[in-house]
Amino acid sequence: MATTSTTTTAAAPADAAVRRPSQPLWQKIDRYLLPAFTILAIIYLLIPIAVMIVFSFNKPEGKFNFVWHQFSFDAWLSPLNRPGLSDALQLSIVVALIATVIATILGTLIALALVRYRFRGRNVTNLFIFIPMATPEIVLGASLLALFVASATQEPFKSIIPKGVFYPLGFPTILISHVMFNISFVVVTVKARIQGFDRNLEEAAMDLGANEWATFWKVTFPLIRPGIIAAALLAFSLSIDDFIVTNFTSGNLNTFPVWVWGTIRNNLPPQVHVIGSAIFLLAVSAVAISSILSARGQRPAAVPR
Total count of residues recorded for the chain: 305
**pTM across the whole model:** 0.78
CB crowding 7-22: b at 16 or more within 10 Å, else e: eeeeeeeeeeeeeeee
Distance of alpha carbon 214 from its chain centroid, rounded?
Answer: 30
Residue 106 and residue 132: Cα distance in Å, rounded?
15
- Structural domains in the chain, CATH included, are 83-268 (1.10.3720.10)
Q: Distance (Å, rounded) from C-alpha 45 to C-alpha 21?
A: 40
Residue by residue, pLDDT tens for the chain (305 residues) are 455 555 555 555 555 545 555 666 666 677 778 888 889 999 999 998 999 899 889 888 777 778 888 888 888 988 888 888 899 999 999 999 999 999 999 999 999 888 888 888 888 888 888 888 888 899 999 988 888 887 666 666 666 666 656 667 889 899 999 999 999 999 999 988 888 777 777 778 777 777 778 888 888 888 888 888 889 989 998 999 899 999 999 888 899 999 989 888 788 888 888 998 988 888 888 878 877 776 765 655 454 45
How many angstroms separate the first and last alpha carbons of the chain? 54
Cα 254 from Cα 192, distance rounded (Å):
35
Which residues have C-beta within 8 Å of that of residue 232, sequence separation ≥ 6? 100, 104, 186
